[in-house]
Structure 1
């Protein structure tokens, strides 16, 4: 395991540069130990010594976590504040030092608790993190302002960064162009404002393409007019660039992208004059030609939005699009695929009978190629009692992990969801740290 000189510094209580990461152990063994500590404690670990701070702030550390199998799968959910959580975050209590809680830390927690109560009473939304590896829930408190309602949440690959884009201002209920980035790796869990989008928008399509480009298109403006405009964000340069308009207005549309494909797909949506009547076509932006082209017969459900209830899955060279839909949609015949589509398979996933209500919110938990199949996080609008593989005692559960094996077998596993994290998500994304 690689340990560079940059990961070494002056340890607390030590006597100079280049001391061992853990005294008495070779750095290779020390690294094996450190990468296995849960990300919940990384913030406190940075307080131990300079070398640990440098190491844990380095992307190298998180690459080693992934390589060793110690990395943790996290799901980010933007959801209404339905309860009152413990005052913690993904990195542990910010008032806790390495020696325990301080008086200032306790006071800060009390202030944040009161802020949570006000946000809940005012119908505000929060940002929740489900650690699928550890089975724990936490709430993140942005330090840059209130989270916009209906904002889009995107994970930037394995960089440990999350983006929040657009949505509604929680006070004026008007679309915003705001963009926020949470850096859980090199930034130590810090929030920052990124360059805003050129156009305020909500209910738009978005996707990360090739790891460093974020595309957005469609949605609606402050007059509820559907939009044709599109733009792309360069993550490394923190800069937005307008793209050619789409051929059609598309509100409540779905953005898609696949590993190894530089194109951006915008599926369905509706125009200003036909609100709620979802189109069957899609438009694809090809950066090589700098233009859009349309594909017919992509989405057959005229009264159902594809937003949130579908997942783009890559398996080697095969690209798939999975639909998680209710019984009304399952009764419809699957449409014939067009040759221009990048996906090889469209699968309608039969939901567990524990999942009731509207179509669920889903996000893919697979990263790259998985030999044993794929996993998808699924959250329903409200829980049910009993259900597949439940064994009883699942009353009120709203979260599930669906496992699809390579042979096509599907298994549903309940996720314990505390009351304060049970609100139906406006947006969801997953990442690994």
Structure 2
């Protein structure tokens, strides 16, 4: 899906202030010590401090800040949640810091005047960048107009430059696909996908192609395809000592019809695994058997991964009001815990891992039943809060927090896209 050549964004039109080393950041301290101190400020709070003085504005807007933050220990960086509530070219993405309950708006992605309604794209973080890949959208230049088309576009948001950058497009357009970042080799791998749009519950194509993106070269390379068509799947990077594997779980392939009219997806209960190698990228795919019985659940739930200090990963799934842990040896999802506050089945929930904890997010009403004033209800109507139930797998404890959300329209976790980033 071709896009305009310009990749400018609202933030890129403002010239970056020049960092003058002669200006004092903190009186009485050398600038290098003051810069180190300021680099520990939580990232979402940085924009508030820029108006303190000219020297702070210049430093907090410079590339030096991000460089200093990433030179520190990885665990000392702010672990943030990035939420894409809708099409990122028309709706701003937001960063959320669960430690300070603060929000930060990012500029919208460069738009194409012919393309609208982008959804089912993948967002993944690698270094000080957030990558937005593929998706499904409508194109005014295609026929028929009401048929969504998969996209091959690739963008990334640079926290160093505070701008969006256009990247080389994928070899095959795709949406609803598996995706994982490989920090050690500075690569991103994508697999499967199709053209399904959120407006259509059971339609669209499926594919089995796999490709890998080299960040330094800005190029895509094809790899061995999946054993069969698979869309709506989840991609996970499994690390164990020196070995790395790319797991593709769940998803759907074929479909059947109910009463010969209504199409229904046939979901996979298994996974396929590719061993990743440093020299040639990857090996052959191997099949992992069914991970649950047909009577347990219809499809794979939302997945979150937590990395421990030894480099190994643990995988968890949100299944209704339960959290399940994946046990690799028996190839089963086993119950880990139950949400303290049950979420009604009609409500959508978000599920991510931040700072070694699992976060289950649901929206709450913006006003409580104790607000008797009709004027107060009218003023606060539509202003939502988000409740986050947080589970610590090592301590097996729960806690919860509540935060106001900045979204103009109600957030739907079924269609929004989320990723986490350390910055």
Structures share a fold, TM > 0.5? yes
The answer for the alignment partner of 2:378 in structure 1 is none
Given that 1:258 and 1:312 are in contact with CA atoms closer than 8 Å, whether structure 2 keeps it comes out as no
The answer for the alignment partner of 1:229 in structure 2 is 209
Bigger shift: 199-208 or 296-305? 296-305
The answer to whether 1:142 aligns with 2:122 is no
State the SS of the aligned residue for 1:287.
Answer: strand
The answer for the alignment partner of 1:402 in structure 2 is 390
Aligned residue runs from structure 1 range 133-282, under 5 A:
133-145=99-111, 148-156=118-126, 159-171=127-139, 173-184=148-159, 186-187=160-161, 189-211=162-184, 212-221=186-195, 224-259=204-239, 261-274=243-256, 275-282=264-271
Structure 2 gaps of 5+ residues are 1-17, 140-144, 197-202, 257-263, 372-382
Given that 1:398 and 1:422 are in contact with CA atoms closer than 8 Å, whether structure 2 keeps it comes out as no
Q: What is the alpha-carbon distance in structure 2 between the residues aligned to residue 151 and residue 55 of structure 1?
A: 30
Given that 2:317 and 2:325 are in contact with CA atoms closer than 8 Å, whether structure 1 keeps it comes out as no
CA pair 147-21 structure 1, distance change in 2 beyond 3 A: farther
The answer for the alignment partner of 2:351 in structure 1 is 362
State the SS of the aligned residue for 1:233.
Answer: strand
State the SS of the aligned residue for 1:203.
Answer: coil
TM-aligned CA deviation for residue 351 of structure 1? 2.7
Given that 1:313 and 1:321 are in contact with CA atoms closer than 8 Å, whether structure 2 keeps it comes out as yes
Aligned residue runs from structure 1 range 17-416, under 5 A:
22=26, 24-37=28-41, 38-41=45-48, 48=55, 52=59, 56-57=63-64, 59-63=66-70, 69=76, 71-80=77-86, 125-145=91-111, 148-156=118-126, 159-171=127-139, 173-184=148-159, 186-187=160-161, 189-211=162-184, 212-221=186-195, 224-259=204-239, 261-274=243-256, 275-288=264-277, 290-300=283-293, 304-306=298-300, 309-317=302-310, 318-326=312-320, 337=327, 339=329, 347-356=335-344, 357=346, 360-366=349-355, 374-380=356-362, 382-383=363-364, 397-404=385-392, 406-416=394-404
TM-aligned CA deviation for residue 283 of structure 1? 0.5
TM-aligned CA deviation for residue 422 of structure 1? 4.0
More strand by share: 2
Q: What is the alpha-carbon distance in structure 1 between the residues aligned to residue 327 and residue 73 of structure 2?
A: 36
TM-score, with length taken from structure 1: 0.69
CA pair 377-338 structure 1, distance change in 2 beyond 3 A: closer
TM-score, with length taken from structure 2: 0.71
Aligned residues: 357
Q: What is the alpha-carbon distance in structure 2 between the residues aligned to residue 323 and residue 46 of structure 1?
A: 46
CA pair 20-298 structure 1, distance change in 2 beyond 3 A: same
State the SS of the aligned residue for 1:61.
Answer: helix
Given that 2:136 and 2:195 are in contact with CA atoms closer than 8 Å, whether structure 1 keeps it comes out as no
TM-aligned CA deviation for residue 405 of structure 1? 5.0
Deviation track 1:110-138 (CA, whole Å, cap 9, x = no partner) reads: xxxxxx9xx9xxxx654222232331223
TM-aligned CA deviation for residue 44 of structure 1? 6.5
Q: What is the alpha-carbon distance in structure 1 between the residues aligned to residue 117 and residue 53 of structure 2?
A: 28
Root mean square deviation of aligned Cα: 4.0
Q: What is the alpha-carbon distance in structure 2 between the residues aligned to residue 245 and residue 47 of structure 1?
A: 53
